Amino acid sequence: MRINTKADKGVAGLTILLSLVVMLFVIGLITMIFTLMGGELRDATYTSTTSTVTNETGAWLNITTYTVDNSGALHFTGLTITGAYNVSNISAPTVIGTGNFTVSGTGYVNSSVSTWPNVSLSYTYIYDADNTATDVMNDTVVEISGVVDWFDIFIVIGAMVVLILLTVIIITAIRGSGLIEGGA
């Protein structure tokens, strides 16, 4: 009769499973750190650019806020109106004085003095433009953060290894018990 003195009896494959879980946790932690760092590097490398828009039509000025067209402008700031014209009568546009409206640096213009249903605005604004460095950092961050997509595959493979080890241990225990003859 053989006596097994192994201290971790009954935990077949547990060390492998725990190692897998710890490995996935560390990979996830490193991925998160690199993704956060890459995002900060990307934000630090934008090129500050001043843009000018001339005669943007379709605006209305009243107590309802008009938002200038800042689509695609990252970190849109510094809105300055360089010209506002009432173009309700296209043949004779009239200048709207700067005291007749208020401007928010983030793209909002409104008036509390009067209402102009058809206004043409000219303005400048500052925004952060993409450049090669920001494009590279954005691609890098996206690819690094894609690592976690493989975690479920690692977990399934780890579980399969543990089940195979458990099966081998069970078969070895049955053979060692003498219930089945070895050889043949």
Give 18 or 69, the one with higher predicted confidence: 18
Band (pLDDT 50/70/90 cuts) for residue 110 is confident
Rounded to 10 degrees, what is the CA torsion of 115, 117, 119, 125?
A: 70
Average pLDDT over residues 53-72: 71
Question: How much is the pLDDT for 6?
Answer: 56
Q: Is beta strand 47-61 parallel, antiparallel or unpaired with respect to 116-129? A: antiparallel
| Confidence tier at 157 by pLDDT (50, 70, 90) | confident
* Sheet of 108-110, strand order: 66-67, 108-110, 102-104
pLDDT for 159-173, tens place per residue? Answer: 888 888 888 888 887
Alpha carbons 31 and 148: distance in angstroms, whole number: 8
Cut 0.85: pTM above it: no
Residue spans of the domains in the chain: they are: 20-46+131-151, 47-129
CB 109, CB 59: distance < 8 Å: yes
Taking CA atoms, 49 is separated from 40, 130, 170, in Å, by 19, 10, 69
